[in-house]
Each structure stands twice: as C-alpha cells, then as structure tokens.
Chains A and B, each alone.
Chain A
C-alpha cells in the first residue's frame, strides 16, 4: 500500500472526465487499496481516482462515524434520487474550505465492487452526499462549482496563493 499525492484545485487534471474501468484487475484493486489508505490518512471520508491523478471511474468512501466501513465503487451510476440535503462540504483537493451544497438526500447507486461484481446500494444523509460528491469528480466537477462565482473565485485565488507560497 502507498500514500498517493492528492491534486489540488485549480489543477486542470481535476477537470478531466474519467474513463470507465474495463476490467477490475489487480491494478484496480491496488489503486483501491492505495486510495483508501490515502483517504484515511488525509483524513477524509471519500476520494475519487482523478484526485490522485488516475482518470478512471473509481471511488472510495467511508462515512461511518468509526471509519470502519469502507465502500469502493467502480463505474458508479446514480439510478434514482429523491429529497434534498444541504450539508457543509469540504474536499481533499480544496483543503481548508467548507461551504453549503444542496444535493439529493437519498440515492440508489449501481456499481462494481472490488471483485468486479455488480451491486446496488441505497444511501441517505452523509453517505449519500459523499457518494454524489465523489461521482462529480469522475465528471470533472467539484463542489465549488455549486457556489456563486464570487465565492468560487475567492477560493481559487486563495488556493493559488497557497500553492505559490508552498513551492
């Protein structure tokens, strides 16, 4: 297992649309393990492959209070959603910022598991929000895109400044 480097907004690679995984093989399983380790170490509750510079449709999440219920989703698709949930979200690619985002409160997702087997998952609350947030990453979308332009620009400026100082 290895800790992976997490890309930071406004890195253009976060804007790529990821490709579906064609076969869940050892390479993908290795990626899943590394992503989980990276997510727990951050610490975060969800991570999408494009955040670690792999443009493939792979997501890991763990929204359990104890951090002992990892879920990995390969080629995830939301097949139904209902309700509304507003939560203060943050992102490992946009560290230090949290803003309210409105999403569906309940979702049903279809995906492949670590072994490549299809499964369906119903989620609500934090887990539902987290899965939606991660699937957005696969389409090159970030939570800041839901904010007003003024807010997004402000965050982008601060992030660019941070990067200049850290380099």
Chain B
C-alpha cells in the first residue's frame, strides 16, 4: 500500500526527524520530501517546516495555553501537527477553513486518528481567542522573539544594546544571494542575463561579486548554473576570499572547508594560486566540496583530516595563507538555518570555544613567516570571536591582528563583526592575523 502523503503529514515527519532524532533540516527535508504523493507540494512542505522551526518557541507558548494538559512524549507528532496548524493560521495566507481541514485530515496519515477532535478543537479555539492568546504569549520575550531562553540570554549578554534587533533579524527570511564567477563574465553581464530570464536581482554593493535575488528560485532556473557561471553563497561568506586576498603563486589552506563555497571562491578569484589544500573532518561532506569543484571546473587538493591534528595530514610545506572557517555555534545564520534554535544546546558553546582555540593553535605553525591567517565564524558570540582571538594573541607573540577597514559591519577590539541582516548579509566574524616575518 502507498499512503497518501500530503504536505502537512510529510512536514510532521520532517519535524520529528529534527526534534526527536536531532537531524538537521537540510538533511531531513530532502529525505522526507520524496514521500509526497504530489511533488508540487514541495515548496509548501518546505515553508511549513522552516516556519515551525523559525517560530516554534512562540507557537509552543500558544499551544500550551490551548492544551489542558501537555501531550505525552509518544505524541510529539500530534504536537508538531498543532504547531503546524498554528503557524499556518498566524503566518501564512491560507484561508483558515482550509488550514483547519487540511491539518485535521493529516491525523490519519500520521497514524493518530484519535487526535482528530483534539487538533480540530485546538485550532478552532485559537481562531476564537487569537488576539488574547497572542498577547498573553508575547508577554514573555522568549515567546515574542521565538528564541529558546538560553539562546536569547546569550545574545543579550553579548549584545546588550542590539539583542532585540538581532533576534528579529534571526526570524527574517534570508535573501538568496549569488556569487558570480569572474572567469565566466562580469557581475553586470550576469545581472543582465537574470533580467532576460525574468529573475529580479540587484548588486550587493558591499562586494564586487555578489548578486541578491528579490525572490528565491530553484538553482536550475539560474542561467549558467550547471556551467559554473554562478554559485549560491551569502554575501557574508563571500567576504572571506576578499579578506584573505590570495596572490599568484601562493600555497593556500582552507581548513574546515566543507561544503566548499569559500574554497571555490578562492580558486575563482586567484586561479594562479600554486595550490589550494582543502581539508575537512567529515568525508561525507567533502563529497560536496568535490561536487562544487567539479561543477566550477576547479582543482584543489581535497583531504579528509582533523584540522586540530595537522601531524596526520600536513606534508611539512608551509602555507602562505590560511582560511580557518572554524566550527561554531552558527548563531549568525539562524535566519538561514532556523533549526539551530532547536538543535543547538547551551553546553555546545563552551565545547566549541575550546575546539576553535585548539584548531587555531594547531594551524598557526603551518603558516609561513609573513603569511596571513583569516579566522572566520558564522557566530555572533564574543567568546567565539574577538575574545577567542584576544586570548590567542596573548599567547602567540608572532601574531598581530590586521585591522579591517571596511564599510560593512562593526569594528571589534580585534576583527570585524557582521550582525544578521547588516547590509542584508548573514552574521559573521572575521579576524585577519599576520605572522611576523622574522
């Protein structure tokens, strides 16, 4: 038998994979989308999943008011369905009667026929008391900003004046940003091609290579995507190659390279580089690096290895420039990966800070005298960013922080920080570190 699987039921399965099994949305979605009986419901299913991840904390606060007693652990699927229903009623432009009918209908597909009346009653009661329920939920910042308590507290500690804007920025839908391959034509020429295809786009002024689309499109609709004319990459991530600024004849290391966006950018920008070594600890994700290199017809030495243990993979030849895009909380890219709110735990942060410090210290000896290491994270937490670098500078006297004069972001005691939404870009931190020549 083949079960009729419609958008809401598949969305529940995706959410369970994330909430119960701890898988990331970008893995769980494609895995479950194949179950849809009607493939045209893919965009709707995706929107439902991203929406519930984005606003889950607020939706939970509302659901709590509507449920007499909390649902059992084994009924997490029913809870997900209720959150899906609330998300549609609050944030989507689907007629409410259709929301209730379609959401209630999904109880059968998830094997919880008994919950039909419950889901129906919860959604109808929400419609009746909408204003009051929203007002009550929003009386706490946690629900109003739809962030878990620890995350909101940590943002507040790091950015006492900006935390509200950051939290709001995290809930905004991110723009789709492209990186134009200079070897295949100019940005102006590509903007023209997009216009000819009827895809509305503008140049991102902070960067010479970036194009912002007014609306997301499937990559297949992008002219020349398969031929490598263009890649999908946020502006903030594109800054890495410009800041590292590699020169002809140099040997480069891209540490923690997967999925390879920045590695490809380095090669696009400096085809005359002597060699680019891309390492990552995750063999599966390195496959993505190889795919990206192939699509763009670029060559790099792709190595599976632990950046904090170079003895296992380094050939002893120094690098002129190193890009260290360190593993981090990803707190700057929550707008792109709202499942971070669900998956990340407070205790992860300390562990990541230790790991970042280890990798940085382990890679520093690989850098040639006079060379440049660019430390980058997609985090907004000071302990992963400028506090990390300040600590490093105290113990490494052959390192100096290079100041970044730029129009984007804000200057930190060392390095430069972009907050989510600054110039339309993701949250990122960059610190270029120079090694003294002597």
Interface residues of A (CB under 8 A from B): 42-47, 61, 63-66, 85, 87-92, 95-96, 98, 124-127, 129-130, 133-134, 143
New A-B contacts (6) at CB < 8 Å, excluding given A125-B112, A126-B109, A130-B3: A46-B1, A63-B111, A65-B16, A90-B2, A98-B37, A126-B3
Cβ of B13: which chain A residues have Cβ within 8 Å of it? 65
For the complex, give the distance between the alpha carbons of A15 and B77 in Å: 38
Q: Find out whether the CB atom of B1 lies under 8 angstroms from the CB atom of A65.
A: no
Contact of A90 among B1, B12, B108 (CB under 8 A): B1
Indicate whether B35 reaches chain A with its CB closer than 8 angstroms. Answer: yes
Q: Mark interface residues in B79-121 (1 if CB within 8 Å of A CB, else 0).
A: 0000000000000000000000000000011111100000000
In the complex with contacts A66-B16, A90-B37, A98-B37, A45-B3 CB distance below 8 A: yes
Cβ of B172: which chain A residues have Cβ within 8 Å of it? none
Cβ of B309: which chain A residues have Cβ within 8 Å of it? none
Of all chain A residues, the one with the shortest Cβ separation from B17 is A66
For the complex, give the distance between the alpha carbons of A44 and B2 in Å: 5
A125 to chain B, nearest CB (A): 5
For the complex, give the distance between the alpha carbons of A65 and B10 in Å: 10
Q: Find out whether the CB atom of B3 lies under 8 angstroms from the CB atom of A90.
A: yes
Of all chain A residues, the one with the shortest Cβ separation from B16 is A65
Cβ of A88: which chain B residues have Cβ within 8 Å of it? 4, 108
For the complex, give the distance between the alpha carbons of A92 and B13 in Å: 20
Within 8 A of A (CB), among B162-200: none
Q: Mark interface residues in B353-375 (1 if CB within 8 Å of A CB, else 0).
A: 00000000000000000000000
For the complex, give the distance between the alpha carbons of A63 and B77 in Å: 14
Cβ of B112: which chain A residues have Cβ within 8 Å of it? 125
In the complex with contacts A64-B111, A65-B13, A125-B113, A130-B1 CB distance below 8 A: yes
Q: Find out whether the CB atom of B1 lies under 8 angstroms from the CB atom of A133.
A: yes
- Most chain A CB within a 10 A radius of its CB, from B3, B16, B34, B110: B3
Closest CB pairs A-B (n = 7): A90-B2, A46-B1, A98-B4, A88-B4, A133-B1, A126-B111, A44-B2
In the complex with contacts A65-B16, A65-B77, A66-B16, A91-B110 CB distance below 8 A: no
For the complex, give the distance between the alpha carbons of A92 and B105 in Å: 22
Can you name 13 A-B residue pairings with CB atoms under 8 Å? A42-B2, A43-B34, A44-B1, A45-B2, A64-B111, A66-B16, A90-B1, A90-B2, A90-B4, A98-B37, A125-B108, A125-B112, A130-B1
Of all chain B residues, the one with the shortest Cβ separation from A86 is B108
Within 8 A of A (CB), among B8-26: 12-13, 16
A129 to chain B, nearest CB (A): 8
For the complex, give the distance between the alpha carbons of A24 and B35 in Å: 32
In the complex with contacts A64-B111, A125-B108, A92-B16 CB distance below 8 A: no
- Most chain A CB within a 10 A radius of its CB, from B2, B12, B108, B110: B2
Of all chain B residues, the one with the shortest Cβ separation from A96 is B37
Cβ of B16: which chain A residues have Cβ within 8 Å of it? 65-66
A37 to chain B, nearest CB (A): 16
Q: Find out whether the CB atom of B111 lies under 8 angstroms from the CB atom of A65.
A: yes
Of all chain B residues, the one with the shortest Cβ separation from A133 is B1
- Most chain B CB within a 10 A radius of its CB, from A96, A98, A127, A134: A98
Of all chain A residues, the one with the shortest Cβ separation from B108 is A87
Cβ of B3: which chain A residues have Cβ within 8 Å of it? 44-45, 63, 89-90, 126, 130
A61 to chain B, nearest CB (A): 8
For the complex, give the distance between the alpha carbons of A61 and B111 in Å: 14
Cβ of A90: which chain B residues have Cβ within 8 Å of it? 1-4, 37
For the complex, give the distance between the alpha carbons of A47 and B16 in Å: 25
A149 to chain B, nearest CB (A): 22
In the complex with contacts A65-B16, A85-B113, A134-B1 CB distance below 8 A: yes
For the complex, give the distance between the alpha carbons of A61 and B12 in Å: 21
Q: Find out whether the CB atom of B1 lies under 8 angstroms from the CB atom of A43.
A: no
Q: Find out whether the CB atom of B108 lies under 8 angstroms from the CB atom of A91.
A: no
Q: Find out whether the CB atom of A91 lies under 8 angstroms from the CB atom of B77.
A: no
A90 to chain B, nearest CB (A): 4
Cβ of A66: which chain B residues have Cβ within 8 Å of it? 16
For the complex, give the distance between the alpha carbons of A42 and B34 in Å: 9
B15 to chain A, nearest CB (A): 11
